[in-house]
Structure 1
Amino acid sequence: MLKGLIFDLDGVLTNSARFHLGAWNDLAKELGINLTPDQLDSLRGISRMDSLNLILKYGNQEDKYSEEQKEEFAAKKNEKFVEQVGKMTPDDILPGITKLLADAKSQNLKMAIASASKNAPKILTRLNIMDEFDGIVDPATLHRGKPDPEIYEKAQELLGLESNEVISFEDAQAGVEAIKAAGQFAVGIGSKQLLAQADYIVPDTSKLNLKEIETAFNKYEESRES
């Protein structure tokens, strides 16, 4: 029986992913690294330091900088991102999300955030939806980033639920892999090809319909039990 929903943040509830990717792209250029669109896209859903290390790997600069220098780079990127977040308003909530959250509330479903972003509380406050959620996983408590299931397992624990009682939403391949590794039902938002592991896929958030997702979830759980 469905009792809770778990959401990634960037690219799922709001379009702040574009601020992240833009800030990373700017930093990469400063380091003399020209990222391809696919390389830039691969940074979706993963933690700050994992993103930086991946950029350095793409530029064959993995061993060029000390950990202290890497921390400085990550902080510089975050400053640019936070500057953009300060301009966000409820208008930046993605299409279909306001209705989805309202439908979930009307069913008394618990809701949590499973985002690698340390700025999640700030963003949710700017969007005026902070009070909709029962819990937010603190990325500082994590030992491993997506695609490891830890963040989705922690979100589930925050809600006091089992893996067969939640539906989780992601727009990144690493995030969908994390959801499935946690044994949860995955809703993918985006490319069918990239998010092939998801149990239910929509091209964008405007196509999210809680009733239809629940029907797919119930069929999925019935098939698992039989």
Structure 2
Amino acid sequence: MPAGIEALLFDLDGTLVHTDPLHFLAMRGLLEAEGVAIDDATFQAHVSGQPNEAIGRHFFPERGPAEHRAFIERKEARFRELAGALVPLAGVVAFIDRARAEGLRVALVTNAPRANVSHMLEAIGLADRFETVIYGDELARGKPDPLPYRLALEAFGLAPDRAVAFEDSPPGLAAAKGAGLFCVGIATSRSPEALRAAGADLAVADFEDASLRALPMVRPERRRPD
């Protein structure tokens, strides 16, 4: 475990709320209309956690960037229609509130576009919790590139060993580890074993897992002397 943690950096989809089933439904419906079939294995390999431009290139390599963006915008709009009622992952609201009460800084680092982020955070009651939000549709490069996490660290003025990332997918884990972060894998759509194989330093089912109590979630200047 890193010592003296000053910030927690959270992914959104699959980490704060389990949305992969809804993204799968939205993607499957639009792809079927295009004559393209998709199964769960393809979704996990080429959609979940991937930046939108990479998704477009995978399914429609013959199309240009503008067509990819138009397709993804339709998919995200359909996702928001399906995501009328969302439930935060077990323990996450209390976990974030505890961290904030201890003086930690909290950021959201996601590949999701701003419209999805606003919709989801409002639905799960976390719209006012994050000091910094890194939006996927406003980045030069999304996860698995480490840029999103480096920008969050830069916003806080912190070195990587002062923060912990929470992720649920191999692309997100690759981004966090590429930025030098200790990373907790959240096993919503993938097993703890798969997350550890993808680079997670610790893998848990949700934010009620007792393993998270070992994280030193107190800023160094607030620690009591031994």
TM-score category of the 2 structures, normalised to the smaller one: 0.7 to 0.9
Instruction: Note if 1:167 corresponds to 2:170.
Output: no
User: Residues 164-199 of structure 1, C-alpha deviation per residue, up to 9 Å, x if partnerless?
Assistant: 100000000111111110001000112233212111
Kept in 2, the 8 Å contact 1:100–1:208? The answer is no
Kept in 1, the 8 Å contact 2:143–2:172? The answer is yes
Q: Secondary structure at the match of 1:88?
A: coil
- For 1:164, give the aligned amino acid: D
Kept in 2, the 8 Å contact 1:121–1:130? The answer is yes
Provide the residue aligned with 2:142 in structure 1: 145
Provide the residue aligned with 2:178 in structure 1: 181
Q: Write the distance in 2 (CA, Å) between the matches of 1:206 and 1:66.
A: 44
Provide the residue aligned with 1:200 in structure 2: 202
Kept in 1, the 8 Å contact 2:167–2:183? The answer is yes
Instruction: Note if 1:51 corresponds to 2:46.
Output: no
Provide the residue aligned with 1:224 in structure 2: none
Change (3 A) 1:105 1:66: closer
Q: Write the distance in 1 (CA, Å) between the matches of 2:40 and 2:136.
A: 26
Kept in 1, the 8 Å contact 2:95–2:207? The answer is no
Q: Write the distance in 1 (CA, Å) between the matches of 2:128 and 2:171.
A: 27
Q: Write the distance in 1 (CA, Å) between the matches of 2:75 and 2:212.
A: 36
Q: Write the distance in 2 (CA, Å) between the matches of 1:208 and 1:47.
A: 32
1:133 paired residue among 121, 126, 130: 130
Structure with the bigger RCO (C-alpha within 8 Å, sep 6+) is: 2
Change (3 A) 1:36 1:183: same
TM-score by length of 2: 0.83
Provide the residue aligned with 2:110 in structure 1: 115
CA shift at 1:11, angstroms?
Answer: 0.7
Provide the residue aligned with 2:220 in structure 1: none
Change (3 A) 1:127 1:94: same
User: Residues 34-72 of structure 1, C-alpha deviation per residue, up to 9 Å, x if partnerless?
Assistant: 223211112111222222222x1xxxx411x34333232
User: Whose helix proportion is higher, 1 or 2?
Assistant: 1
Provide the residue aligned with 1:88 in structure 2: 85
Provide the residue aligned with 1:29 in structure 2: 32
Provide runs of 4+ in structure 1 moved above 6 Å: none
TM-score by length of 1: 0.83
1:12-23 aligned at under 5 Å gives the runs 12-23=15-26
Q: Write the distance in 1 (CA, Å) between the matches of 2:204 and 2:193.
A: 12
Q: Secondary structure at the match of 2:215?
A: helix
CA shift at 1:209, angstroms?
Answer: 5.0
Give the paired residue count. Answer: 207
Kept in 1, the 8 Å contact 2:89–2:206? The answer is no
- For 1:80, give the aligned amino acid: R
Q: Write the distance in 2 (CA, Å) between the matches of 1:205 and 1:110.
A: 17
Q: Write the distance in 2 (CA, Å) between the matches of 1:208 and 1:50.
A: 36
| Structure 1, gaps ≥5 residues long | 216-226
Kept in 2, the 8 Å contact 1:168–1:187? The answer is yes
